[in-house]
Amino acid sequence: MSARGGRRKAYRRGHSAERLAALALMLKGYRIVTRRYRTKVGEIDLIARRGNIVAIIEVKARARLDQAMDSVNILAQRRIEAAADQWLARQPDQALLSVRFDLVAILPWRWPVHVPAIFTS
């Protein structure tokens, strides 16, 4: 498989994982506010809201939960936080919001695993 074909396959797999994660979160009572929020400093896979809680969601498709959790390293955390800061700055009700950084792990043949507060800001 060519490098381009591999990237395309990974891109499609990422989109599928994000759709499944969004569905799982909506069934838990979250409203998906934004998908793939892009800034110059980074990207947020999903931004979900339930009441005054804003969940900044990183979606990872991995073979095991520990691999998904380990992939959100300090560099990824900084990138996600910087993008979240930019999104929050544009929210009129920013002062009322409680922000949390979550993970949704997409594992083979399992329902998505939602891990609240995978890291703190």
Neighbour-count burial of 62, counting CB atoms closer than 10 A to its CB (0-12 exposed, 13-18 middle, 19+ buried) = middle
3-state secondary structure of 2: coil
pLDDT single digits (tens) 16-64: 999 999 999 999 999 999 999 999 999 999 999 999 999 999 999 999 9
Whole-number pLDDT of residue 25: 98
113-119 vs 98-106, strand pairing mode: antiparallel
pLDDT single digits (tens) 89-116: 999 988 899 999 999 999 999 999 999 9
Percentage above 70 pLDDT, the chain: 98
CATH assignment at residue 100: 3.40.1350.10
pTM greater than 0.85 (yes/no) = yes
Q: Does residue 2 carry a pLDDT above 70?
A: no
Q: Does residue 121 carry a pLDDT above 90?
A: no
Neighbour-count burial of 2, counting CB atoms closer than 10 A to its CB (0-12 exposed, 13-18 middle, 19+ buried) = exposed
Please give the residue range of the domain that contains residue 61. 3-119
**pLDDT confidence bin for 12, thresholds 50/70/90:** confident
- C-alpha 119/C-alpha 121 separation (Å) is 7
- C-alpha 19/C-alpha 59 separation (Å) is 10
Whole-number pLDDT of residue 114: 98
- C-alpha 97/C-alpha 103 separation (Å) is 19
Domains: count for the chain: 1
